Structure formats: C-alpha cells, structure tokens
Chain A
Amino acid sequence: MHISVNVDGVTYADEVEPRLLLVHYLRERLGKTGTVVGCDTGNCGACTVHLDGHSIKSCSLFAVQANGREITTIEGLARDGKLHPVQQAFHSNHALQCGFCTPGMIMQAIDLLADEPDPDDETVRKGLEGNLCRCTGYQNIVRAVQDAAQRMKPGAGPEIEQRTPHAVGGE
C-alpha cells in the first residue's frame, strides 16, 4: 500500500506492506534508528514517538495507519545542533545509564510536560508509567523531567523564545 508520512519535518512517500509496524518503517526504511525496539509486548515504551503531537508506541501501530499524518521521533528534537531542553536535562541530570530507554523516556516526557508543565514527583512517575528503565531506578529520570520543566518555563528559553506572545506575529 502507498503511504505518505511526514517524519521529523520531511515528507516521505513509500510503498509498504500493511503488516509493517511503524517502528520498523522508521528504523529500516528511513534509517531513523534513534527509535528503538525494547520488547515485543508493547510494555517498555522505548519505541515511543509522537503521532500528530501525541505520544504513541510505534510498535503498536502499522505504518499504514500513519498515512497522511505527522510523526516526530527523537531524531527530530534537536534544533541547529542544540539539544531539546528535555534532552539537555537528561544529559545534565545523568538520567541514563545504558541509554536504551532514553529515546522513549524523552518523547514521553515531552508529551507529559505539554499536559503538565510543572509536574510533581508523583505526576512524573504516573506520566512515565508506560516506559520501563532497567538501570537507573528512575530517580534521575524524574529529576531530569522536573529540571526540564524549569528549563521550559515561559521566559526560560533562549532569547528568541523570550518575547511575550503578543509581540510575536508582528501586530
């Protein structure tokens, strides 16, 4: 079946078998190996990407179901060589050891912060319920997400993003 999918800002048109999982499409067709497969059961969340702005597990979706839609992977977060604030917070807080769960953790953390801009410890843990880490015990991951929340507060971004909303748009 023919599909057209926008991944990390680039539109791809491809012929795929209906049974091809989105995660395999991303990794094997598009070479986006930043998104990883951790389990075969939909439990681990390592393959989390955003579909039209919401986190999903790309192992539980066929590529054909993403036809006409927009995907963001871990590879689409950095801008001009600069890490996304959540990536930077994971780095600064040592929120990973082996790093295998990290792409999914970061994608889910970004989703969580969109709904909960200033989450407490419990909210972070609930929000990351669908992502498993077998190394860290989650402590530094929770810390990183809360640190990222501070980094992403209005006014906390780089200068270009510090303008007040009404100043944007050139009225």
Chain B
Amino acid sequence: MIPAEFKYLVPSTVDEAVRMLAEEGEDAKVLAGGQSLVPVLRMRLAAPTALIDIGGLTELTGVRDEGDSLLIGAMTTHYEVQRDHLVQDHALLLKLVTDTVADPQVRHRGTFGGSLCHADPAGDLLAPALALDAVMIIAGPGGRREVPAADFFVDYFTTALAPDEILVDVRVPKHTGWSAHYEKLNRVAQAWSIVAVAAAVQVRDGTITAARIGLTNVGSGPVRAADVESALVGQPATAESISSAAVRASSGDGYKDNLARVLTGRALTAAVTG
C-alpha cells in the first residue's frame, strides 16, 4: 500500500531536528531506521503530517566507553550493536537480545533508539534496557534531560518523550563479566515474542552475587522481575536455587504468567551454565 502524503524534512543537527519537531506540531514524527514506522505508514495505521528523517545524523551513531557505562547512540543500528566489542564485553545481554531482533535486513536498518521509542511491548530491546538500568538521554527545546528506563516506558507504544523531544543516547551501565541469556518464545521465524525473558547474572565462586531480569510482552511495557532478582542474590548457582527463584517471575495463573516462570527458569539456567 501507499502511505498518506507527508512533508519530508532532513535536519543536519539534533538541535535542528528538535526545532523542526516543535514547528511541525504534535502530528510530526521522527523517522529513524523506519523498520516499524514505514510498515505502519504503508498500512495507514498512522498518517503523520511531517516526517523528520534523522538518518543522516551521524552524531547519533556508535558506542562510546564512558568509564562505568557505555553510551550507545540512538541511531546505532541493531547490526552495529551486534558486532560492537564494547557491547559484547560490557553488556552481553544486550548483544544476545539484539541477535534475535526481526531478521538480518531489518537489523541493518533498524536502530536501538528507534526500537525503544517505538515502545512496542513485544519489542525485544525494552526488557534488557529496563533490566540493565539504562538511562535515556533526551534532547528537547530546553536542552537535555535524562530519564531512567523504569520511567521511560509509560504504556503501550508510549514513552516519556514529549512530542518535541528526541532520544539521542542511551547510557547502559557496564555489566562486565556477567553471563547472560535471552529466552524467547515465538512460533515462527521473525515473529514477535509471545513472552521472552532477558537475564543477566553475576556469579562469583559458585554464588550468585547479582541478577537482572526483564520480561518481554507480559504487560503494557517491559516488566522487571525484581522478586526473582532478590531471591537469587547470595544463593548458590544451582538448578535448585534457580527453580525456586524463577517461580517468583509472576504470581498469576494465566498462560503468560506460566510462560514467564518457565522461561525465567530456562533463561537463568542457560545464563549460569553458559
């Protein structure tokens, strides 16, 4: 199908992009990699009056080492995240999750920041962003502000971004030496997760010293399995402690509650056993 008409704008800086957003009003939309937005426009599920294409803003790409954390440019593609050595060494969970996003063609175009801003509850990158305590660095007319992932994902396809704001960077605290796994349940290739579990675990001398667990597609946004995390700390890295902690992933008795518990167990087991 053919998308509805829109005005196409190409800013050359982030500040210019923010100005354009303010000028075009709330029916304008930022075009990042376009791997969710373009299909949405084609199906006419949305018809923004203006698209502000930030694809040329190279200042928004790449991964930088900031000491205790990594700074990942919002326009860094999934393909670049997958192959980045800093991500591999300090945020392995993010790499493993990104490996499962859509398909190779989409990963060449789709961006880390774009996925987070799209905020599809079935999107894979929300859970690891939440679990790893990522912080969103946002540019707006009044300058920059920072929003932790826990406050960024507000509801289905809704974030804390104001209509005239743009996500520029994502700060991800280093989790160097942590083991990780993403357990994703979907029926067919390139399908969205029915439920998925992103788990990172720190094990020292056979004891779990810390855990970070995020659940994909069990609510209107990513969910942190904080009860499982705290139940694991100080426990031996064994099948018994994993299974007794994993049951805390959800207390309900629905299909997805059960999946959350089962997949949390699998994710932790895979992370711990490598």
Contact = CB atoms under 8 A, between A and B. Distances in A.
A128 to B, nearest CB: 8
Given A60-B109, A64-B8, A65-B53, A108 B190 contact: no
A56 B105 contact: yes
A60 B8 contact: no
**Chain B contact residues (Cβ within 8 angstroms of A): what range?**
20 to 34
Contacts of B43: 40-41
B187 interface: no
Contacts of B6: 18-19
Nearest to B1: A40
A130 B106 contact: yes
Interface in B1-58: 1-8, 31, 34-35, 38-39, 41-43, 51, 53, 55
Interface centre among A21, A57, A59, A60 (most CB of B within 10 A): A60
B102 interface: yes
A19 B4 contact: yes
A43 interface: yes
B64 interface: no
Contacts of B39: 41-42, 60
Given A41-B39, A59-B42, A130-B190, A65 B34 contact: yes
Contact of B105 (A19, A40, A108): A108
Contacts, number: 80
Contacts of A85: none
Contacts of B8: 1, 18, 62, 64
Contact of A130 (B2, B38, B103): B103
Q: Give the one of B2, B43, B103 with max A CB within 10 A.
A: B103
Given A18-B6, A19-B3, A42-B35, A61 B105 contact: no
Nearest to A60: B38
A75 B51 CA distance: 31
Contacts of A18: 5-8, 51
Contacts of B38: 21, 42, 59-62
A60 B35 contact: yes
B103 A54 contact: no
Given A19-B2, A41-B39, A111 B104 contact: yes
Interface in A87-117: 108, 111-112
B108 interface: yes
Interface in A38-63: 40-43, 45, 48, 51, 54-57, 59-62
Interface string B184-196: 0000011000000
A45 B106 CA distance: 10
B79 interface: yes
A48 B105 contact: yes
Interface centre among B2, B53, B104 (most CB of A within 10 A): B104
Interface string B71-111: 00000000100000000000000000000001111101100
Contacts of A65: 31, 34, 53, 55
A112 B79 CA distance: 12
A129 interface: yes
A119 interface: no
A22 to B, nearest CB: 10
A24 B109 CA distance: 18
Contacts of A129: 103-104, 189-190
Contacts of B105: 45, 48, 55-57, 108, 130
Contacts of B190: 43, 129-130
A111 B107 CA distance: 12
A42 B2 contact: no
26 contacts: A19-B5, A19-B41, A40-B1, A40-B42, A41-B39, A42-B38, A42-B106, A45-B103, A48-B105, A51-B109, A55-B104, A56-B105, A57-B105, A59-B42, A60-B106, A61-B34, A62-B8, A62-B34, A65-B31, A65-B55, A129-B104, A129-B189, A129-B190, A130-B106, A130-B190, A131-B103
Nearest first, the 5 A-B pairs at minimum CB distance are A130-B103, A18-B8, A54-B108, A129-B103, A129-B189
